Amino acid sequence: MAELTFWTGTMDAGKSTLALQTNHNHAARGRIGRIFTTHDRGGEAMVTSRLGLVHDAIEVTADFDFWRYAVDALTHGARIDYFVCDEAQFFAPVQIDQLAKVVDELQIDVFCFGILTDFRTRLFPGSARLVELADKTEVLQVEALCWCGKRATHNARTEDGIMVTEGEVVVVGDVEVGAESAIPGGGPSGEAEVVAYEVLCRQHHRRGLTAARAKAVSLVAEPLPFG
């Protein structure tokens, strides 16, 4: 029986690498699939891994309909055994419903890969729907690490080097050093803001203590809230 599987982890946990490896493994056994993505850090209609792997993909726009795509393809004689969906956190909940229908009605396996929560520590709507509908939800075993060495559990966004917890949910960026994005006119004076991402443990995300800030301040434990 076909299944809907959701693989999740923080940024830098290897989700895109696993997505491409999953496609490779199934294709090597003669299965035929389709790869989908949206808002990939490398650009439109491609899946890119931080290890340097790149693969063409179908870009999922806001009005993309997975059910209609699958039915049209099958009606025209195509064979589809599986879907690989990267950056699935950015899919709309209705698109997750369509993927579940593809699994149940067409017996096509769907493998989704994405981040669970955004930089505000809130569930992405697409990820929340996947948790609700997926046959299996798997946490990637490769642990991304906070600057302190603990397991990273949260994704932090910085603007001009300062951690923020408010703003647009979808701003494409990366965790690599120097891999920054600019938001035109995002600053208070209309200048571009430089946006970057960093993975942190819960404690340092709660304190807003990024690696850069940790270097600039004395790492003293917070005082207890009494006495």
The first and second tokens of residue 194, run together, are 């430089």
Distance separating alpha carbons of residues 73 and 82, to the nearest angstrom: 13
CA distance 112 to 110: 6
The rounded distance, in Å, linking the Cα atoms of 166 and 14 is: 26
SS3 content of the chain, % helix, strand, coil (to 5): 25, 25, 50
Annotated catalytic residues are 87
d(CA 134, CA 104): 11
Our separate counts of H helices and E strands in the chain read 6, 12
Output the DSSP codes for 71-114. Answer: HHHHHTT----EEEESSGGGS-HHHHHHHHHHHHHH--EEEEEE
Q: Containing H/E element for 130?
A: helix 125-133
**Number of neighbouring beta carbons within 10 Å of residue 181:** 15
